[in-house]
Structures are given as C-alpha cells and as structure tokens.
Structure 1
Amino acid sequence: MINDTLSALLDFQKETEALAQVAGRLSWDQETMMPRGAAMQRGEEMAAMESVLHARRTDPRVGEWLSGLEGSELDPVAAAKLRHIRRSFDRANKVPAKLAAEIARVTSVSQGKWAAARAQDDFAAFAPVLAQVVALKREEGAALADGGDVYDAMLDDYEPEMTAAELDAMFGEMRPRLRALREAVLAQPEPKAVTGSFPEEAQLALSAKLAGVFGYDFERGRIDKAVHPFSSGSGSDVRITTRTNPADPFNCFYSTIHEVGHACYEQGIDPDYALTPLGQGVSMGVHESQSRIYENQLGRSRAFAGFLFEQMQEVFGDIGIDSPEAFYAAVNRVQKDFIRTEADEVQYNLHIMLRFDLERAMVAGDLAPAELEGAWNERFEKDFGYAVPRASLGCLQDVHWSVGLFGYFPTYSLGNVYAGCLHEALRSDIPGLDDQLARGETGQATGWLRERVQRHGGLMKPREVIARACGREPGAGPLLDYIEAKFSGIYGL
C-alpha cells in the first residue's frame, strides 16, 4: 500500500516537474529569441502555464498521498523527495491561484518594459510596472509568511531556512573588512588593462572553448546571447547565455565561466534524480557557490590566468600585455565602476548589500518603488564614493526586480561565502591544483565539486551540503581571508 501511494505521488510529481521545465523554456526563449512584439502574448502564455502548475502543486490528491505516507519507513532518497513535495504543497496552498497567475503575467510584461527602460535610461517609464510587481509580491509574501516576516518568506523561496537577521549578521562581519581592503587597493596604481581588437565571433568561439575546459556538456546544452547572462534548465537540457563587449572580452569569458558553473551543477546531478524534486540545485546560495568558485577561485586564479593569457594571445594577437603576471593583475583589476556583474571580488559583495537593503525597504513599505532611483543613487554614492550617471548603470542594471525575484540578491553573497569554504577544502585535498590549472586542466577540481556538491542535487538541505563537503559549518572567514590574501598580493599591500 505504501509503495503504491509513493509511486502515485512520484508519478504525478514527475509530470509537474516536466511542465515546470517547459515553463522555464518559455522564459529562456523570452530572453534569447522571442520577437519583441510577442511580449504581451508571452505574458498570457506564462500566466496560463503558472495556473496549470499551481493547480498541480495544490491538487488535493497530493495532500492525500502525503498524509498516507506520514510516519512511513522510507529510504533517505524517498524521504528527501517527500520533504520537497510537502514544502511545495504547503507553500503553494498559501498562495491563491489567481494571484500566482497574475504574478506570472505581470512579471513577464514587466521584464520587457524593464529592458526597454534600461535601453532608454528611463526609470520613470519602468516605475509604474515595478510598483505593480512589488505590490503583487508583497501580497504573495504576506500569504506565505502567515503572520511571520514577509521578507523571510520571500528569501525562503531561494535559500530555505535562511533569515534576513542571519544575513544582516554575516554582512556586518564582511562589510568593514571589504571596505578597508577596497580603500587600500584603490589607493594603489591601477594595473594595466588589456587592449586591442576583440571581435564578437572570436570572443564567442573562445568562450565556448572555455566552457568545454570547465566541463560543460554541449550534448546537453547550448550557448546563446542575452542582455543579462543566465543559466536555464536541468538534467538533459541545461542552457546558458553570455554577452559580448568589443572593448572588454573578460565580460564574455567570465560570464560564460560563471554560467558554466551553474550549468555543471545541474548537469552533474545524479541522473536518477531527473524530473524529481531532487533533480535541481538545492538552493540559489549553493548554486551560486558553484558559479562563483568556477569563475573566481578557479578561473581568476594566477595559474588559470596564465593559461587564458596564452589562449588570448593565440586568438587576438597583441593584447597590450606581455606577461602572465600582468595579465593576472588585469583579470583581477579593481576599479571604480557601477555594474554588479562586472565587479571584482573586493567590491562585488558591497553591491549585493546595497540591493539587499533596498529591496527589504521596498518589501517593508519603507521605500516606494517610484523613489527607488533616488534611494539607489544616494546609497551608491555613500558606499562607493561617486555618483551614478544614468539609470542603466544604477537601479535598472539588473533584471531581478522586474521579474519579482525579491529575496534572490543576498544568495549571491551567500554563494560567495559557501565558495570560500569549498575552495579552502578543495585546496587542502588537491595540493597540486595550480599545476593543473596552469595547463588548462580543471577536471580534478570540477570532479571534486561534482562529487562533494553537485551530484546530490536536492538530497540534503543547503547548509548541510556545504558543511559535509567542507567538513565545517559555513562562515564568511575563509572567503574574507582568501580575498585579502589575493588582492594584498596583487597590489603589494
């Protein structure tokens, strides 16, 4: 009887997971290939898909099956699947179907309006739809919180069991050390940047090669262009996007390596978990740990920078830099800038802290969406010391708020913290890592991550995955020590 009930539930869940993948493919298409004029229709399509998914996630039969399995002796894999299904069922039942569909419709339309406003540097054109998104997400958050903290309920969508109070404490530990390091670094002479001609076709060809170097499986994936690079899908269909800048090839290369980290997590999950609740990354913090360790601790290491230096010379010829050490400094150059996705390791988390505080204020009702641009510019100048010249370099640079991803931003810094812990453990276990990276060989490092983190998918809880992989509870110390040592060395502090 128990086996029949479990089979019925998991068969039903498999169809739900498959439909969710289809909905994800609609989002991928919207970012990469959809005609501009299709935005309103795509909003209706997304709303229809969300209505179907919401109905399945709240189907009374799911509750009956879960009740029938209560107290049963289950193996760890089955128990983990039920934990995820129960969590999804309970959360979905708190959100009215009409609200879920409306959020899907409005955020699909909002994304197009954000892209247009960003292109025109016109925050005022985006503000009304942002206000709609914030109102809908606050309504959803209140339903999920059920009397508790609304922002914590939003955060739980991306990092289960994490709270804003814990993040506040973590950021409080990180902020002073990062600010002090930033001030010391910016007082030093700026390393030379690469110069030359970097045609888009050549950038994309080398970025595809780098994706392969880091283990991306092109039989189960593809690379396309998007305004904002992202990874999409799981299992046998995991797609990534990148972007190019004719003056800055690192934008393309490191965006690609970053998204490959996400994609390899999804591709590395145990195939037996495909189209089950365990068949995806367990949280955005753990997900980000993979993209950030691929991009930074591995991809921006002195050893791998030497390999990339040779590759760039072969492809582009003279790049204005004539030594691996100077190239390593260029790859890790700290400079005054505005864009989060292009920020160096010293300043990146300061960008996240700004967004964390502003989105909490919007969710709490302390900051009206119409006032976001002014609040952003004031806070940025206070934190970074210079003024934001236009909206595309300020509050319109990220897609997240346009699609309702409130609670997502802090998982980037949490992922950096997790990556710091993983890197410390990885270095301990692979003492010859630099020799391998200098040859463009990442297999042992990425294999370590696949075995310790990626293959488990959603089997364990987020912090448990990191703690087991590292042999210690995660904390900000290893990340801060790594950043301080690395940039003190580069800048001679």
Structure 2
Amino acid sequence: MTASESLSALLDHQRETEALAAIAGRLEWDQETMMPPGAAEQRGEESAAISHVLHARRTDSRIGDWLAAAEGAEMTDAQAAMLRHIRRDFDRTRKVPATLAAEIARVTSVAQGRWAAARAADDFPAFAPVLARIVALRQEEGQALADGGDVYDALLDDYEPEMTATRLDAIFGEMRPRLTTLRERVLDRPEPAGLTGAFDEDRQLAFTRTLAQTFGYDLTRGRLDKSVHPFSSGSGADVRITTRVNPLDPFNCFFSTIHEVGHACYEQGIDPAYALTPLGHGVSMGVHESQSRIYENQLGRSRAFAGWMFDRMRDSFGDIGIDDADTFYAVVNRVQRDFIRTESDELQYNLHIMLRFDLERALISGDLAAADLEGAWNERFRADFGYDVPRPSLGCLQDVHWSVGLFGYFPTYSLGNVYAGCLHKALRRDIPDLDDHLARGETAPATSWLRDRVQRHGGLYRPAEVIERACGEAPTAGPLLDYIEAKFGALYDL
C-alpha cells in the first residue's frame, strides 16, 4: 500500500469512527432529554457496548501501520492536522484497557440518574458511593494515561490538550486577588432590585428561541429542549442545545440558552469540509467555552444588547417590574450572594470554578474521599464566599459533571473566560461601532467575526494557537480582568 493509499484508508476508517461517536453522543442527549427513567440500566449497557466498539476502532493496530506509511504522502495542512489528532487519540486510547473504558461508560450512564435523584432529594450520602466508584475508575484511567506522570494532568488533557494544573494554578493565582478585591467592594454597594412576577414557561421558551436565532443558531440543523442541566451536543449538521425554566427567574433560561448557543454556533460554524473528521469539532473545551462565554457575557450582557432585550421582554411579558433600560442592564449584571455557578455573575463565576478545580484535584489525588466531599465543599465555600451552603443541591450536587466522570473539565470554563477576554478586546478593536449593531439586536458583525477567526477552523490549530491567531497576541488573563474591573466598577460606581 502506497503512502497516499494508507492516508486514504486511515481517513476512511476515521470517518466511520466519527460517525459512531456521533451516535454515542446522541444516546447521551436522549438520556438527558427524552429517555424514560426506567430505561437507565439498559441505557448503561447500550453505552458500554458502543464504548467498547469505539475503543476497538480507536486502538485498531492498522492505525499505527497507516500512520507510519502515510508519513511520506503529500498532504494538505488540514490532512496533516487530522493525522496529528488521530495519532494523539491512538496513543492515548491504547493506554486504557477496553474493559475499563466500557465500565466507565456503563457506570457514568447509570450515575446520571442517581445524581439527578440525589439532587432532587438533597441527599448527598445517597450519591456518595456512586461518586466514589466514578472517582476510582477515573483514577485508574488517569494512571494508565499518565504513564508515571501527573494523573490529573492526564485527565485534563482530554479537555484542554497541552494544558497542565501547574499552569492553571499560575493563571488562577493572577486572577484570584483582583477578583476577590473587586467582589468585596461591589458587595458593599447596594444591589439593584430584580424582576417581579412570574414568567410563563411557554413564553420563556418562545423568547428563548428568538434569542437563539438572534445569535445565529440554525434551527434547521439543531433543536432546543429542556433538561436538568443545560448543555450542547453534536456537531456539523446536527447540533442540539437544552435549557431550563424557572418561572421566577427567566434570566436563568435566557442566558443559559445564549451560553449554549455559543457552543452550538461554534460547531455549526466549522468548515463543512471537516465534517466527520477529527477537525470537525471544537479544538478544546477552553476554546469552546470562549465562544459560549463571549456570546453570553460580553455580547449578551452588554449595555447595548441589554437595551434591545429590555424592549423585547416588555413586548413578550408586559410589565416586568423594571422601568428603563439602564436599570435592566444593572439587573442583568447584578452581583449578589448566591450559590449556583451557572447563575453566577461574571465577577464571581471564576471563583466558583477555582473551588471545583481544587476539590476535584484532591479527589483524583486521593487527598479527599468522595464521602467527605460535601463537608469539604461547604467548608471551602464558606471560606471563599463568606456564607454557608444550606443544602447539597446548592452545593456539591448542583453540577452534573462529576456524575458523568468529567474530571478536568471545570477549569476549562475559566480558561474559556480568559480566551473570551482576549477575543473581546480584539473584536472591539476591529469593530469599533459594535455597540450600534448590538443596540439594534444585530449580533452578526460579532458572530461573523468569531466564525471567521475561531469557529471555522475547528480542530485545525492547537488551542492557544487559535486564540493567538485570532487576536494577534498570546492569550493572558489581563484583558478579562481589565474588562471585568471596568464594567463592574462603572455599574457599582466604584
């Protein structure tokens, strides 16, 4: 077989693997949205079966032969990037026994339902044994992947390739003092009143669809459903999002939706030529979060867009208890004492992530037992935020991530915020009249810029390289911190 024939055979094999992985993702989407609760055990077996098939395909010995033979082939930059991803995936997957991969898929599939039930009942002890099993499995996987190196770094590499906990520590160390100082100053100021009344679920969902389309989400290649925890799923021609509804807090629904639309538009914006290839997905969760966070915050919570949103909300709901656009903008960006990460303001959000980052590292290292997580969480929250967690659903059970084994995922949220800060600075530089567009509900200048600079490339470049190419400089936390200090300093007249 010639080098070009080997390259072709490798990419054909990968295309089928990508298609099967998409089917596995659809199983997970169904489980979160439509699957009957009694099907959980069976779904666990189904997930384990497809995980076993995918593991076998990703460790097929022919991949090593094809990779070696393809080295001499003439190829495009895109094909070279595909081989980089395939080689990395092949090397990592071979280190994990197929039985372990299948067991992780089975246990985490069942655990989602156990977590949801424990969260609803505010009963962490009911979930603790399941969490302990997941931690043990992920420790075993991390040890296999690390090959003598740092176990947490090996797991982090699944979500942010080439990142390490040491580098994250340095980034968070730069961020924490400026954020905590600003937080203390802001919380000493009076906070604006919130919305009043109840907001009909059907009207919320209708308004949510308007917001999704306003930000460019293509509903002919996607759909919007409800779930306990909002998420985005899929790529290419089938990218689905979910949201949740609170009749007393429609912002929960609206900004969760804009956040997930950012993820979805990244996937929908990737060059169609990369579909069902290793380049047909977002390159990392940090870059992915940069899109969801800039859509939600720098665009969606901007003064200009908030003014447009204020008028549309009054059209949809009538009197919302707020009389003018400036007050609405302040409410949209209100800083208050609260517990929930997904509902947190931009100022405090990263402090929630740092708490999770430290706790999950302790779980993976064995310094923290799963049974002791609730107490450790509550103690750390009290130290960081200054008040007590009243129940587990507002504390260690609020997020789905650990129930599905996503250890190493949480820090990518803050890394995404850092990337979003850099992108926003460059976006404002290149589109100086951006606020004029946003005030009319026109997001296209911003979303088109992001599609051209970030989204269309998919996995073509390495994560930090994507941001540096888009912005013209290497990513740092400075632009994000400057933006937060300027925004909240003005909002709270500091």
What's the TM-score, normalizing by structure 2?
0.99
Residue 116 of structure 1: aligned partner: 117
CA distance in 2, matches of 1:302, 1:444: 17
Query: Aligned equivalents of 1:453 and 1:157: distance in 2?
Result: 20
- Structure 1 distance, partners of 2:439, 2:143, is 51
Q: Is it true that 1:264 corresponds to 2:272 in the alignment?
A: no
Q: Corresponding residue for 1:460? A: 461
Q: What is aligned with 1:128?
A: 129
Task: Give the match for residue 489 of structure 2.
Answer: 488
Structure 1 counterpart of 2:269, one-letter code = G
After superposition, the C-alpha distances for 1:419-443 in whole angstroms (9 at most, x for unaligned) are: 0000000000000100000000000
Q: Which residue of 2 aligns with 1:338?
A: 339
Structure 1 residues 181-240: Cα deviation after superposition (integer angstroms, max 9, x where no partner): 110000000112111231000000000000000000011000000000000000000000
Distance in structure 2 (CA, Å) of the matches to 1:250 and 1:307: 15
Distance (Å, rounded) in 2 between the aligned partners of 1:121 and 1:275:
41
Deviations 1:118-161 (A, max 9, x none): 00000000000100000000000000000000000000000000
1:429-486 residue CA offsets vs partner (Å, 9 max, x unmatched): 0001000000000001000000000000000000000000000000000000000000
2:75 equivalent in structure 1: 74
Contact 2:3 2:72 in 1 (8 A): no
Which residue of structure 1 aligns with residue 209 of structure 2? 208
- For 1:106, give the aligned amino acid: V
Give the match for residue 45 of structure 2. Answer: 44
Establish whether residue 280 from structure 1 lines up as the match of residue 289 from structure 2.
no
The answer to whether the 8 A contact 2:24-2:47 is kept is yes
The CA distance in 2 between the partners of 1:455 and 1:67, in whole Å, is 29
Moved more, 190-199 or 177-186: 190-199
1:385 corresponding residue in structure 2:
386
**Hey, what's the Cα distance between the residues in 2 that align with 1:127 and 1:346?**
31
Paired residue for 1:88? 89
Number of the residue aligned with 1:5: 6
Which amino acid counterpart does residue 52 of structure 2 have in structure 1? S
1:101 maps onto 2:102 in alignment: yes
Q: Secondary structure at the match of 1:347?
A: helix
Determine helix, strand or coil for the equivalent of 1:386: coil
| 8 A contact 2:7–2:73 mirrored in 1 | no
**Do 2:305 and 2:441's aligned partners in 1 also have CA atoms closer than 8 Å?**
yes
Shift of 1:375: 0.2
| Residue 74 (structure 1) shift | 2.5
Q: How much does 1:72 deviate? A: 4.0
TM-superposed CA distance for 1:75, in Å, is 1.9
Paired with 1:38 and 1:105, the residues of 2 have a C-alpha distance of 13
Equivalent residue number for residue 440 of structure 1? 441
Q: Is the 8 A contact 1:303 1:437 kept in 2?
A: yes
SS at match of 2:347: coil
Displacement of 1:71:
4.7
Deviates more, 1:189-198 or 1:21-30: 189-198
Q: Provide the secondary structure at the position in 2 that maps to 1:31.
A: helix
The equivalent residue for 2:353 is 352
Q: How many Å separate the matches in 2 of 1:68 and 1:141?
A: 30
The Cα offsets for residues 288-311 of structure 1, whole Å up to 9 and x where unpaired, read as: 000000000000000000000001
Q: Please list every run of at least 4 consecutive aligned residues from structure 1 whose deviation after the TM superposition is greater than 4 angstroms.
A: none
* Secondary structure at the counterpart of residue 485 of structure 2: helix
Instruction: Give, in angstroms, the shift of residue 73 of structure 1.
Output: 4.0
Match of 2:144 in 1: 143
The aligned residue for residue 16 of structure 2 is 15
**Structure 1: 5+ residue stretches without partners:** none
Paired with 1:196 and 1:205, the residues of 2 have a C-alpha distance of: 18
State the Cα distance separating 1:401 from its structure 2 match. 0.3
**SS across alignment from 2:91:** helix
Give the equivalent residue in structure 1 for 2:368: 367
Q: How many pairs does the alignment contain?
A: 493
Aligned residue runs from structure 1 range 215-294, under 5 A: 215-294=216-295
**What amino acid sits opposite 1:299 in the alignment?**
G
Measure the CA separation in 2 of the matches of 1:484 and 1:194. Answer: 25
Alignment pair present for 1:61 and 2:62: yes
User: Residue in 1 aligned with 2:168?
Assistant: 167
Cα RMSD (Å)? 0.6
Distance 1:77 1:306 in 2: 42
1:5-62 deviation digits (Å, cap 9, x = unpaired): 1111101100000000000000000000000010000000000000000000000111
Unaligned 5+ segments in structure 2 are: none
CA displacement 1:79-129 (0-9 Å, x = unmatched)? 000000000000000000000000000000111100000000000000001
Cα pair 1:131 1:370 within 8 Å, conserved: yes
Give distance in 2, aligned partners of 1:442 and 1:232.
23
Tell me, in whole angstroms, the C-alpha distance in 1 between the residues paired with 2:196 and 2:223: 29
* Partner in structure 2 of residue 34 of structure 1: 35
- Cα distance between partner residues in 1 of 2:381 and 2:94: 39
Contact kept, 8 Å, 2:4 with 2:70, in 1: the verdict is no
Distance 1:469 1:195 in 2: 41
Q: Secondary structure at the match of 2:291?
A: helix
Please say if residues 197 and 316 of structure 1, whose CA atoms lie closer than 8 Å, have aligned partners that are also in contact: no
